[in-house]
Amino acid sequence: MKTDLRTATVLATVAAALTLGTWAATVRADTLINHPFLLVSPTAMDLGRLRPGEGATNSFLVENVGGGILVGTATVPPPFRIVSGGSYRVPRSGAQVVTIVYTPNGSPTNTQVVTFTGGTGDVRATVTVSHSTKRWPYYLQPK
């Protein structure tokens, strides 16, 4: 029996990457070598507590851990916005940063789903933002 080292290396890399995430998948070796395979990290993001009028920016990493060229887009509903990397064309073993910005809309908490397309299908990552309605820093306010 012949062993294709390239196949074994790709499978080991993907197995390690999938183990680090919050989901798992079984993928045939020929699929990985011949087709793009989308991996997004992190799979969830909390932009934390924000001061009134303050926004937040953070990034996702889109990786092609398969073959070919991964072509896709990242989208998210308001009050979030993709500011860079929203359309991607990622070669084999390549990566691209997708940057998201959040501007509070008066609601104390906003949760939306960022959708990444391409490769093996749509991948969804949840973005959670908490926004304090108290004056910041409330403990320094005069009484």
Q: Report the alpha-carbon distance of residue 121 to residue 38 in Å, rounded.
A: 8
Domain 5-134: CATH architecture, name and number where available = Sandwich (2.60)
Task: Per residue of the chain (143 residues), give pLDDT as tens.
Answer: 444 444 444 444 444 444 444 444 555 666 667 789 888 988 888 888 787 778 899 999 999 988 899 999 999 989 999 999 999 999 999 999 999 999 888 777 888 889 898 887 667 776 765 555 555 554 554 55
The residue ranges of every structural domain in the chain are 5-134
Whether this model's pTM surpasses 0.95: no
Query: Taking the CB of residue 143, how many other CB atoms lie within 10 A of it?
Result: 2
Report the distance separating Cα 25 and Cα 51, nearest Å: 39
Residue 83 neighbours by CB distance under 10 Å: 12
Strands ordered across the beta sheet of 109-116: 44-50, 123-131, 109-116, 69-75, 87-91
